[in-house]
Structure 1
């Protein structure tokens, strides 16, 4: 039975499979941290309610595992998904009380997760709130790895991936069990990539240094009762923004100014929390686009070498590309739309 506090919950470690003979590819990481987090929701102000880490060797063998529930200082959100109730989380540690333990398990390892951008973003926000820098430099998404390996999967759900490798799931949407089954599925995936000498789909992790404090926080730095009076309630998706009132003036001209109405897309991690950065763009009169097309004026990314779908499309259609620092500098002096 999983305990309600932050000591690691003991479960049977999976059997260790023999590693294939032959040289291991040079340049592969020296270790991995397979991570799963459960959260109060999907928006930037949502919080982590539980976290789990399986540490793996360079060849994917399990070293150890760790799990902790987390008091989110607000309503726990979709209890029908993660199973964690207000009462269960009432005496759980705050994130800042487990951050050292978590950081120790992530240090000098590649973060591995299923839909890794989500788990990394939630962790990056929590580390930022705790005024800490996560010791993670790269991440690997097992969805992307499955695609690189061309695994014959009907979809890329976690249960489909682990079922492909014959891994039994015991408690779906429990952070510790999700991390366990993902670690078991990652090992053979890693070995397949190694045997074919495929480069791993590694992406840089950029810590968040600026974010907007959401209404869900207690705001006083003290432990708040989950679901206490006055706490923000509910599980909400990202909010919709009003339509940009200005016409699209076309593409950004390198060396020039941004103009109100330009369509701006973002790709990859940003030091400013993505929703806050998008808010700043909207307030300046820009249109935030969720995809890249021939009408996109500019793509903002800190990893121009990454082969994300937006970057591939931007290069194909000739969309200008800027990094976050240059973009935020240009935001200070956006030219008015024609006729304004």
Structure 2
């Protein structure tokens, strides 16, 4: 593991006329990047890096570790980590506390933060350990809030916009460095414009499973016995059969859900998202990827998040309930009305 700490340099005093820093902004950030064996629920972290930043985005220190995933490392052509390189690396439970110490009391910042947070949350759930992260900030969402003139929302495009040079793309430590350097000017631009930061709540998993998408057990080119092939991509397809029931309309508070209702889910859930969706499908509901005028119900634990789904639900007058209420309603879903 690499642990390179450096004291933050003295900051110049604010110049006269400089806008005051927004008092509602967080006090500290942890810019995170994790490399993984793949993108599915049963994939594992193979390396992790954290840049700790102060309230104004200045670097305090940084940290990096490889992680032995106890399985095929997956797309080595992307992250460059082979089974041989990871053989003597620590297991996730062995670095969990040090990793947590880097995150504690800070907002987790990542590019496509939902992915990094989901992988981290699953690793802590497997280790039966708490993760001290309460909020996250996605730099893609922040770029959209700032209306940056970007051709796309890839990390290298954001880096080039701010003149940040990438040295080792898809190496966790360098990706975290690049993002930290790009995040600071974005943060200052947001502060100057008094823009609300797109903060989302992080909800640790209390119920999860790795068994829904069972991986192949055939031998692959880069792994040994029991590995799964990655040559054709590493994200399993989970196509669900169409809901057999017609949409009966919107959910009415105080009444049961009805088979065929279109349900959208936004934000973190304490039950693994795919597991919660599978239970809804088994009950006869239709899981929608977005919110439209036909959506019967939006499930979210963070109704003030300002996500596109929440905004559309408000615009369309779609009923909104939290995960606990939805889970309760799933116990007794009314049958679809006979035609």
> What's the counterpart of residue 123 of structure 1?
120
101-110 or 117-126, larger mean C-alpha shift: 117-126
2:2 paired with 1:7: yes
Shift of 1:11: 11
- Mapped to 2, the partners of 1:183 and 1:18 lie a distance apart of 20
| TM-score using structure 1 length | 0.90
- Mapped to 1, the partners of 2:73 and 2:48 lie a distance apart of 14
> What's the counterpart of residue 223 of structure 1?
none
237-246 or 248-257, larger mean C-alpha shift: 237-246
Shift of 1:128: 0.9
- Mapped to 1, the partners of 2:102 and 2:80 lie a distance apart of 25
> What's the counterpart of residue 221 of structure 1?
none
Is the 2:262–2:297 contact (alpha carbons within 8 Å) kept by the matching residues of 1? yes
Corresponding residue SS for 1:332: helix
39-48 or 294-303, larger mean C-alpha shift: 39-48
Give the aligned CA root-mean-square deviation in angstroms.
Answer: 2.4
Shift of 1:200: 1.5
Shift of 1:196: 2.1
108-117 or 239-248, larger mean C-alpha shift: 239-248
| Contiguous gaps of at least 5 residues in structure 1 | 1-5, 219-225
> What's the counterpart of residue 188 of structure 1?
185
> What's the counterpart of residue 305 of structure 1?
304
- Mapped to 2, the partners of 1:240 and 1:88 lie a distance apart of 35
- Mapped to 1, the partners of 2:7 and 2:240 lie a distance apart of 46
Is the 2:40–2:235 contact (alpha carbons within 8 Å) kept by the matching residues of 1? yes
Alignment partner of 2:225 out of 204, 222, 229:
229
- Mapped to 1, the partners of 2:237 and 2:300 lie a distance apart of 21
Shift of 1:15: 9.4
> What's the counterpart of residue 295 of structure 1?
294
Residue deviations 1:48-76, cap 9 Å, x none?
11111000111111111111111112221
- Mapped to 1, the partners of 2:155 and 2:13 lie a distance apart of 24
Structure 1's consecutive aligned runs of 4 or more residues displaced over 4 angstroms after TM superposition are: 10-20
Residue deviations 1:109-140, cap 9 Å, x none?
01011111111111111111111121111111
- Mapped to 2, the partners of 1:245 and 1:74 lie a distance apart of 39
Relative contact order higher in (CA < 8 Å, ≥ 6 apart): 1
2:129 paired with 1:132: yes
| Contiguous gaps of at least 5 residues in structure 2 | none
> What's the counterpart of residue 285 of structure 2?
286
- Mapped to 1, the partners of 2:261 and 2:10 lie a distance apart of 54
Shift of 1:213: 3.0
> What's the counterpart of residue 328 of structure 1?
327
Shift of 1:233: 4.6
Shift of 1:274: 0.4
Alignment partner of 1:207 out of 201, 204, 221:
204
Corresponding residue SS for 1:241: coil
Is the 2:5–2:61 contact (alpha carbons within 8 Å) kept by the matching residues of 1? no
Shift of 1:243: 1.6
Residue deviations 1:179-204, cap 9 Å, x none?
00100011111111122222222111
Residue deviations 1:63-118, cap 9 Å, x none?
11111111112221211111111221222111111101100000000101111111
Name the count of aligned residue pairs.
327
Is the 1:49–1:70 contact (alpha carbons within 8 Å) kept by the matching residues of 2? yes
